[in-house]
Amino acid sequence: MNAVTPVVLGLLTKQPLSGYDIKAIVDRSTRFFWAASYGQIYPELRRLEAEGLIEGEDRPNGGRTRRVYHLTDAGRDELTAWLFGSTVTIELRDESLLRLFFADVLPHEQALMLLEGRKRGHEEFLDVLHAIDARPGTDTPFTDLVLRWGIAFNEWGAKWCEEQLERLRTEKAA
Q: How far does Cα 95 stand from its chain's mean position?
A: 15
The dihedral formed by the CA atoms of 47, 48, 50 and 52, expressed in degrees to the nearest 10: 170
Task: Please state, for a pLDDT cut of 90, what percent of the chain lies above it.
Answer: 74
**Residue 18 parent element (H or E):** strand 17-18
* pLDDT for res 79: 96
Amino acid at 121: G
3-state secondary structure 31-71: HHCCCCCHHHHHHHHHHHHHCCCEEEEEEEECCEEEEEEEE
Express each pLDDT in 67-102 by its tens digit: 999 999 999 999 999 999 988 778 778 889 989 999
